[in-house]
Amino acid sequence: MRDGVNLAKLGLPAVALVTEEFWPQGDFVAQSLGMPDVPRVKLPHPVAGTGSANIQQVARDVAPLVIEALEAASG
């Protein structure tokens, strides 16, 4: 979440990728850094350590959501 906020503060298009387990913490971080509306996409938890095939599937599943969030943020 922090990376997404930092990129957005630089004026770069950004979408934070946050697993469902850490979604509430993402709310907190975004609020505390003054950017509660930074776009983000919810990933299943866990992703790390679940194998290459699963990570590839997660990427395929969320790629359209990332694009949608970027397009919505740009206007």
**Which 3-state string (H, E, C) describes the chain?**
CHHHHHHHHCCCCCCEEEEHHHHHHHHHHHHHCCCCCCCEEEECCCCCCCCHHHHHHHHHHHHHHHHHHHHHHHC
pTM over 0.85: yes
pLDDT in tens, 16-68: 999 999 999 999 999 999 999 999 999 999 999 999 999 999 999 999 999 99
φ, ψ of residue 3 in degrees (nearest 5): -60, -45
Q: What is the pLDDT of residue 9?
A: 93
Q: What is the pLDDT of residue 74?
A: 85
